[in-house]
Amino acid sequence: MQPSKICATCGTYYSSNASYDVCPICADDRQYLPEGGQRWTTPEELTSRYSVRTNQLRQNVYELEIAPSFAIAQRAFLILSPQGNVLWDCIPLLNEPIVEFIKARGGLRAIAFSHPHYYSNMHDWAATFDCPVYIHRSDEQWIFGKGDRVELWDGTENPLWDGMRLINVGGHFPGSSILHVPSLSEEGAVFCGDTLVISPNKKHIAVMYSYPNRMPLPHGEVQRIKKQVEAIPFDMLFSFMRDLNLTEDVKEIFDRSMERYLQ
């Protein structure tokens, strides 16, 4: 692993000799710089103060998150599948216990991303598990650091194996994507990062340009996303943070939510 500095607000790793005074991800209007300006931390500090919490959500689905919560506090998902496991999104802490945890369950065949806010230390994860990282080409400009395992994909869909597929939905970022896993339920499960965000009351699903800054998407974008997502079969939805899971009336809640934007 290369010496790194970590943005304490979003968890992105940069080479310690990178010339950035501020994190480009957080300087973008979809994120923010904290009161008092840019804050950096180091892998050593992160490793000594934080751990990775794992939680089994389904027989073949684990959520991984940093405890206590750090930066955006997203979770990653380890999805076990007969022809190879997928890590959906990333968390910015890779320590021995989590490496052993994943290796004991068959390692990783690939890492795939919803969007740039969760790239974290993806190059380290990919090197450790000797696997590719699938990122939609539209978000290429947000890839920082060295890593020869990134594989950019184009178009609307990227089929994986065991019927799993990556689908580019856009909205929040042009490359914002979801992962569809058909084997987890009758209609299949969608892992959506924050391409779609389940609200805390579990009765609304948000689509926004920026969630922390409460910046909406253009009307036409919401219409396009509504039409695209409606055509995807799914009855389970897993969003970017702990507890943001929907397993009942998912499509109804999605439709009602999009209608609310369009009224």
Binding interface with Zn ion (CB under 5 A): 7, 9-10, 23, 25-26, 117, 194
> In the complex, what is the shortest distance from the CB of residue 194 to Zn ion, in angstroms, rounded to a whole number?
4
- Comparison of 23 and 90: residue with beta carbon closer to Zn ion: 23
- Comparison of 117 and 123: residue with beta carbon closer to Zn ion: 117
- Residue listed under structure tokens 């779609």: 196
Quick check: helix, strand or coil at residue 250? helix
> In the complex, what is the shortest distance from the CB of residue 249 to Zn ion, in angstroms, rounded to a whole number?
25
Rounded Cα distance, 58 and 236, in Å: 11
Rounded Cα distance, 12 and 257, in Å: 31
Positions of E strands within the chain: 4-7, 13-15, 40-41, 51-58, 61-67, 76-79, 86-88, 110-112, 133-136, 150-153, 157-159, 165-168, 177-181, 189-193, 197-198, 205-206, 236-239, 245-246
> In the complex, what is the shortest distance from the CB of residue 132 to Zn ion, in angstroms, rounded to a whole number?
22
> In the complex, what is the shortest distance from the CB of residue 205 to Zn ion, in angstroms, rounded to a whole number?
15
- Comparison of 7 and 110: residue with beta carbon closer to Zn ion: 7
- Comparison of 9 and 177: residue with beta carbon closer to Zn ion: 9
- Comparison of 131 and 225: residue with beta carbon closer to Zn ion: 225
- Give the number of other CB atoms < 10 A from CB of residue 237: 22
> In the complex, what is the shortest distance from the CB of residue 4 to Zn ion, in angstroms, rounded to a whole number?
13
